[in-house]
Chain A
Amino acid sequence: MAKAPESISLDQLDKDQMKTFSDFLMSYNKLSEICFTDCIRDFTSRDVKDSEEKCSMNCMEKYLKMNQRVSQRFQEFQVIANENALAMAQKTGKH
């Protein structure tokens, strides 16, 4: 009997983990696509050239850094939007 709530929370954990994992896979695929299209333009040779590999690695690092910055700015905007919404609610509530 005592096991029921635990198994529910475990299910929930699995669901969240699955979501995180699938998000990770999606961003992995997207990153590959972006860096491949931006860096690999020469198809006269089968091998990945040093310059192409360097470009791809830089592309990946840069993309992650960009993502970090975008998420920072996005969060800042959300905080402001929340504060505005709260202020509005208080204002209209007082009337």
Chain B
Amino acid sequence: MALPQISSADQAKLQMMQEMEIEMMSDLYNRMTNACHKKCIPPRYSESELGKGEMVCIDRCVAKYLDIHEKIGKKLTAMSMQDEELMKKMSS
């Protein structure tokens, strides 16, 4: 794949987008860790090892969190696209 020539302004934009995405990902990760800690690790620390149930819970929690994240993202984009169309119709 030959990349088309990109102007430096576009390149800067692209880099900013990439940085924003990385920032977003790390925010997602932190929130997910927080949520799964709250939901899966009871605040009784008689042991330092993760229990079997806790491990299973964490695995499911991560999977579910990412599932919901994706679902909400899809719904959100669909809704905002609908909104935009409506606004266009209203203004025209």
**A residues near B, CB below 8 A?**
34-35, 37-39, 54-59, 61-63, 65-67, 69-71, 73-74, 77
Contacts and interface: CB of A to CB of B under 8 A. Distances in A.
Interface string B1-45: 000000000000000000000000000010011001100110111
Would you call the interface of chain B mostly helix, strand, loop, or mixed? Answer: helix
Interface residues on B, range: 20 to 34
A73 B44 CA distance: 24
Among B36, B55, B62, max chain A CB count under 10 A is at: B62
B62 A57 contact: no
Nearest to A67: B33
A73 B50 contact: no
Given A62-B41, A77-B62, A70 B33 contact: yes
B37 A66 contact: yes
